[in-house]
Amino acid sequence: MHFVQPEVRLIGRPSLDYEEVAAYLEEVGGKGWLERLDRTNDAQNLAEIGGRTCYRSWEPGLNPNVTRVRTDQDAYLENILASSHGSVLEHLTFNFIFSNVSRVLTHEQVRHRVGTAISQESLRFVRLDDLPFWFPEWAQQDGELMTRAVRLLLDMESFQLWMADHFGLDDENVPFKEKKHKTSFMRRFAPEGVTTTAVWSANVRTLRHVIESRTAEGAEEEIRIVFGKVGELMKEEAPALFGDYEVTEGGAWVPSWRKV
Ligand SMILES: Cc1cc2nc3c(=O)[nH]c(=O)nc-3n(C[C@H](O)[C@H](O)[C@H](O)COP(=O)(O)OP(=O)(O)OC[C@H]3O[C@@H](n4cnc5c(N)ncnc54)[C@H](O)[C@@H]3O)c2cc1C
């Protein structure tokens, strides 16, 4: 076994094709908006495109009902959040790799179904020959707890190795089907805290909800740490869409606008 720390990496983000956006705006008469646009943040720009499409509010007068338009993106997106126009945020999907996170965490994470996609390392295919495990700081400082916990983990790990040997999984010409069958069985003897890797994608509407609910004081210890990191990454990535959160002393991310 070895000790690990949960990690979150942001590996993908929205990307706009401004030439195609320009071609569309040529048709509806909104090119002035694009000329003013700062092209450094595609995610925020995509949110703005989604919102302005709804009211044709690229410029005053394109829709006779619209006589004034906001020209500042921060103010525009703040109004999207404040008015709960959250469907606009569903266009913006971000992709993460969560590594060294426990199966306790991923079991809770997959309960968030709306606006997400997940691919998790499979213990039907990937054989456990080592048990990576995260211990919180407070547990690491408890000598007796650590001695007993590590002994238990080493026991489970050697049972994994024994089973692989017992089933002859590394013998010559063992069909992959047989390896998969036995590996599937063997994972039943792994602890729920064994760590794993998952690619997780979520749109901004979902991210706002999950960051709030999974950093709440009542949420589980590891998931709070991990979604606190997701919050930090997203605040850096799209400040106009995540800048309204207050982080409490206890680490809870509390938004100004809930459930947009
Ligand atoms: C602190 C904490 C403790 C928890 N404890 C437990 C527990 O003890 N046992 C347990 O089983 N679970 C528990 N959960 C999980 C919880 O019940 C939810 O399943 C999980 O948080 C997913 O959130 P969600 O329902 O908002 O779904 P998401 O998929 O994140 O959906 C987002 C939103 O979309 C809407 N939505 C989604 N699906 C539907 C639908 N089918 N119909 C109508 N509207 C929908 C809802 O407004 C929902 O909030 C806990 C969660 C937290 C944060």
Q: Which of 189, 222, 241 is the last residue of a domain?
A: 189
Give this prediction's pTM. 0.95
Cβ-proximal residues to 165 (8 Å cutoff; 6+ apart), any chain:
none
Q: What are phi and psi of 148, to 5 degrees?
A: -70, -40
Are residues 96 and 200 in contact, defined by beta-carbon separation less than 8 angstroms?
Answer: yes
Fill in the DSSP letter of residue 245: P
What token pair was written down for 146?
């650590």
The count of structural domains within the chain is 2
Ligand 1 atom nearest the C-alpha of 115 is 29
Claim to verify: residue 82 and residue 31 sit in the same structural domain: yes
Among 90, 105, 107, 114, the mutation site with the greatest number of ligand 1 atoms within 8 A of its Cβ is 114
Q: Is there a domain that residue 70 lies in?
A: yes
Taking residues 63-73, report their average pLDDT: 92
Whether residue 260 has pLDDT greater than 90: no
The last residue of one of the domains, among 189, 219, 239, is 189
Judge whether 80 and 51 are in contact, CB under 8 Å: yes
Mark whether 21 and 82 lie in a shared domain. yes
Instruction: Give domain status of residue 151, yes or no.
Output: yes
Q: Pick left, alpha or beta for residue 173 (phi over 0 → left; psi -120 to 50 → alpha; otherwise beta).
A: left
Q: Per the domain annotation, does 181 fall within a domain?
A: yes
Specify the amino acid at residue 26. E
Amino acid at site 21: V
Task: Kindly compute the dihedral angle of the four CA atoms of residues 152, 109, 97, 99, in this order, to the nearest 10 degrees.
Answer: -10
CA 228 – ligand 1 centroid, Å: 18
Q: Based on the domain organization, do 39 and 85 belong to the same domain?
A: yes
One domain for residues 74 and 129: no
Confidence of residue 189 (pLDDT cuts 50, 70, 90): very high
In a domain, 31, yes or no: yes
Instruction: Tell me what percent of the residues of the chain surpass a pLDDT of 90.
Output: 99
Q: Which amino acid is at 56?
A: R
Tens-place pLDDT, residues 168-187? 999 999 999 999 999 999 99
- Measure the CA–CA gap between 216 and 219, rounded to whole angstroms: 5
Question: Residue 89: which of 39, 41, 38, 43 has the closest Cα?
Answer: 43
Q: Are residues 23 and 83 in the same domain?
A: yes
Number of other CB atoms surrounding residue 31 within 10 Å: 17
- Nearest atom in ligand 1 to 219's CA: 1
> Which of 52, 12, 55, 54 has the alpha carbon at shortest distance from 36?
52
Domain finish residue from 162, 189, 216? 189
Report how far residue 159's alpha carbon sits from residue 140's, in angstroms, rounded to the nearest whole number.
24
- Verify that 70 and 136 share a domain, yes or no: no
The residue whose CA is least distant from atom 42 of ligand 1 is 114
pLDDT digits (tens, 9 = 90+) for 102-113: 999 999 999 999
Cα-trace Rg, the chain:
24
Which pLDDT belongs to residue 39?
Answer: 97
Residue 218 Cα: closest atom of ligand 1: 1
Q: From the CA of 119, how far away is ligand 1's center (Å)?
A: 20
Q: How far apart are the first and last CA of the chain?
A: 43
Span 210-217, mean pLDDT? 98
Tell me, yes or no, whether 220 lies in a domain: no
Query: Residue 254 CB: number of other CB atoms within 10 A?
Result: 13
Distance of CA 200 from the midpoint of ligand 1 (Å): 17
Please give the pLDDT value at position 73.
Answer: 96
pLDDT digits (tens, 9 = 90+) for 132-166: 999 999 999 999 999 999 999 999 999 999 999 99
Q: Which domain covers residue 45, as residue numbers? A: 14-90
In a shared domain, residues 129 and 72: no
Phi-psi region of 24 (alpha: psi -120 to 50; beta: other; left: phi over 0): alpha
- DSSP labels for 155-206? HHHHHHHHHHHHTTTTSTT--HHHHHHHHHHHGGGS-TTBEEEEEEEEEHHH
Is residue 83 located within the same domain as residue 148? no
What is the atom index within ligand 1 of the atom nearest the CA of 216? Answer: 1
pLDDT digits (tens, 9 = 90+) for 10-61: 999 999 999 999 999 999 999 999 999 999 999 999 999 999 999 999 999 9
Q: Is residue 81 part of a domain?
A: yes
Cα separation, 112 vs 81, whole angstroms: 21
- Which residue's alpha carbon is nearest to atom 16 within ligand 1? 111
pLDDT on residue 259? 83
% of the chain with per-residue pLDDT over 70:
100
Residue 190, phi then psi, degrees to nearest 5: -95, 145
**Residue at 207 is within a domain:** no
Ligand 1 surroundings by CB, under 6 angstroms: 111-114, 209, 213-214, 216, 218-219
Q: How many A from CA of 210 to the centre of ligand 1? A: 9
259, part of any domain:
no
